[in-house]
Amino acid sequence: MSLTVVANRVPIRKTDDGWKTSVGGLTTALLPVLEEQGGVWVGMGEDPDLPECQQYPEDDPDFLVRRVPLSDEELDNYYYGMANRVLWPVSHYLIQHLELRERFIDTYRSVNERFAKAVLDESPDDPDEIIWIQDYHLMLAPRHIRDARPDAVIGHFWHIPWPAMEVFRILPWSRELLRGMLGCDLIGFHVDEYVDNFIESAEVLLGADVTENTVTLDGHTTRVEAHPIGIEVDRFKKMAATEEVKEKADKLRNRLGTDNIVIGIDRLDYTKGILSRLTAFEQFLEENPDYHGKVSFYQIATPSRTKVESYQQLKREVDEAVGRINGQFARDNWVPVNYRYRTYTQFELCAFYRAADAALITPLRDGMNVVTQEFITATQNGALILSELTGAAYLLPEAIQVNPYDQGGLADAIKVALEMPDEERRSRLKGLKSTVEKLDVHKWAQHFLDSFDR
């Protein structure tokens, strides 16, 4: 078998020492396969220094990186437009952020066609070749590849939720997008609920023949399955156990100086529920004066999609909420909300996970949410408060599950987490850790690729 990965981004970046692979769940999962079996990675490659074809590693190549160069205008319409202003909000049921523009879909069509062409140029026309497309940026590419190469083996993994059919059909291009996806042999989602939503969309909107796990349209059958993604469990475990991380965690606890630390770690994105989490913490402080001076909430938000207006607006609202809460409650040396708007290394994140008594992970919707898994792996005795509207919640019944739209419920959950008896914490964490171990990202990739043989 050899592999062609097709993703929005390429897995390498330029450093002073030449091209190096970037860190990230997907890269980590797929590079070992490419290194072992050889193949191609097709992606848009925003770095203008990246040649159209770059062998990697340069001195002794394992695989080829093929760039699909995009103009600024194409990037605006395909990525910031169709992907981030249309498909992202609709898939997360947050249609107040939806912006439907003809130029978004027009460019999305042409860019998807270009990705497909790059795949056809670079990947061998060979029955052992697997073409594996990633995520919502590339819904139309599978159909183009299928039309040109009827015997190709094509898979797609969708990293975000697939919404209920009645929500997906809001898109004027819903049928075209579905037909694009159905060029695949195998489509993966994190959990069965998204599988069911996809199959219902295909049945109702296209009149396709469906079974529990297949969709047949125009004589071609696509399997649709749940493949929940994981993290690199062993690496995270080792990292969290290093002296460096322990020292950093101790330093953080000393610096904050409170008995209890609650953390939130996300990309700054309106799907992650950061604002409602902050107002819930505010309510918790209002209702529990005993905790004043005794609990710190540490929210880290990494800048994301900063060109999109709704993200700029969210940043202002978060700044405002943090200021309001601290303005009202801070006293002496106690700052209730510590907020950092920046990216940290995984080592630093591990230190936050270790220092925390509880993690507040409350997306309004999330395909999986791997921060949950990172926290579970790194923490020794922390409690997990988890939104029931995440993919992770389906797999982790031992978490304290909350509805992120229920502010009072969230405030109560903070108290429950902080006051949970040690014995109960330990036993819940045992269950959580055992699930996360099984979800390892390397197993995820291997399992998806093995599924083509069935």
Among 374, 376, 402, 413, binds ligand ADQ (CB under 6 A): 374
158 DSSP assignment = -
In whole angstroms, how close is the CB of 379 to ligand ADQ at the nearest point? 14
Q: Tell me the C-alpha distance between 447 and 430, whole Å.
A: 25
Distance of CA 126 to the CA centre of its chain: 32
Q: Tell me the C-alpha distance between 281 and 265, whole Å.
A: 15
Binding of residue 344 to ligand ADQ (CB under 6 A):
yes
Binding of residue 265 to ligand ADQ (CB under 6 A):
yes
Among 221, 313, 343, 380, binds ligand ADQ (CB under 6 A): 343
Q: Which amino acid is at 442?
A: H
Distance of CA 288 to the CA centre of its chain: 34
Only segment of 35-43, 276-284, 318-326, 342-350 that touches ligand ADQ (CB under 6 A): 342-350
**Which CB sits closer to ligand ADQ, 210 or 318?**
318
Binding of residue 429 to ligand ADQ (CB under 6 A):
no
**Which CB sits closer to ligand ADQ, 65 or 371?**
371
Nearest-5° Cα angle at 190, 186 to 196: 70
**Which CB sits closer to ligand ADQ, 25 or 163?**
25
Only segment of 121-129, 277-285, 365-373, 415-423 that touches ligand ADQ (CB under 6 A): 365-373
Residue 185 is encoded by which pair of tokens? 């042999």
In whole angstroms, how close is the CB of 72 to ligand ADQ at the nearest point? 24
Binding of residue 30 to ligand ADQ (CB under 6 A):
no
Binding of residue 232 to ligand ADQ (CB under 6 A):
no
Only segment of 52-60, 111-119, 343-351, 397-405 that touches ligand ADQ (CB under 6 A): 343-351
In whole angstroms, how close is the CB of 227 to ligand ADQ at the nearest point? 10
Give the number of other Cβ atoms within 10 Å of residue 48's Cβ: 7
Binding of residue 368 to ligand ADQ (CB under 6 A):
yes
Q: Tell me the C-alpha distance between 217 and 165, whole Å.
A: 17
Residue 321 is encoded by which pair of tokens? 């909420």
Binding of residue 369 to ligand ADQ (CB under 6 A):
yes
Residue 60 is encoded by which pair of tokens? 């002794």
**Which CB sits closer to ligand ADQ, 152 or 399?**
399
Query: Do residues 65 and 29 lie in contact, with contact meaning Cβ atoms separated by under 8 Å?
Result: no
The dihedral through the CA atoms of 301, 89, 21, 186 has a sign that is: positive
Mark 289-308 with x for binding to ligand ADQ (rule: CB under 6 A) and - for no binding: -----------x-x------
Query: Do residues 313 and 334 lie in contact, with contact meaning Cβ atoms separated by under 8 Å?
Result: no
**Which CB sits closer to ligand ADQ, 86 or 368?**
368
Binding of residue 159 to ligand ADQ (CB under 6 A):
yes
Binding of residue 191 to ligand ADQ (CB under 6 A):
no
Binding of residue 371 to ligand ADQ (CB under 6 A):
yes
Binding of residue 267 to ligand ADQ (CB under 6 A):
yes
In whole angstroms, how close is the CB of 112 to ligand ADQ at the nearest point? 20
Q: Which amino acid is at 355?
A: A
**Which CB sits closer to ligand ADQ, 64 or 439?**
439
Per-residue buried b or exposed e for 351-370, using 16+ beta carbons within 10 Å of the residue's own CB = bbbbbbbbbbbbbbbbbbbb
Q: Tell me the C-alpha distance between 58 and 79, whole Å.
A: 29
Q: Tell me the C-alpha distance between 3 and 23, whole Å.
A: 20
140 DSSP assignment = S
In whole angstroms, how close is the CB of 183 to ligand ADQ at the nearest point? 21
Total site size for ligand ADQ, rule CB under 6 A? 19
Counting every residue, how long is the chain?
Answer: 454
Only segment of 192-200, 237-245, 265-273, 279-287 that touches ligand ADQ (CB under 6 A): 265-273
Determine which helix (DSSP H) or strand (DSSP E) holds 360, and give its type and residue range: strand 358-361
Binding of residue 366 to ligand ADQ (CB under 6 A):
yes
Q: Tell me the C-alpha distance between 120 and 141, whole Å.
A: 11
Q: Tell me the C-alpha distance between 6 and 9, whole Å.
A: 8
Binding of residue 440 to ligand ADQ (CB under 6 A):
no
**Which CB sits closer to ligand ADQ, 122 or 225?**
225
For the chain, the farthest-separated pair of C-alpha atoms sits apart, in whole angstroms, at 71
Residues binding ligand ADQ (CB under 6 A): 25, 159-160, 229, 265-267, 300, 302, 343-344, 349, 366-371, 374
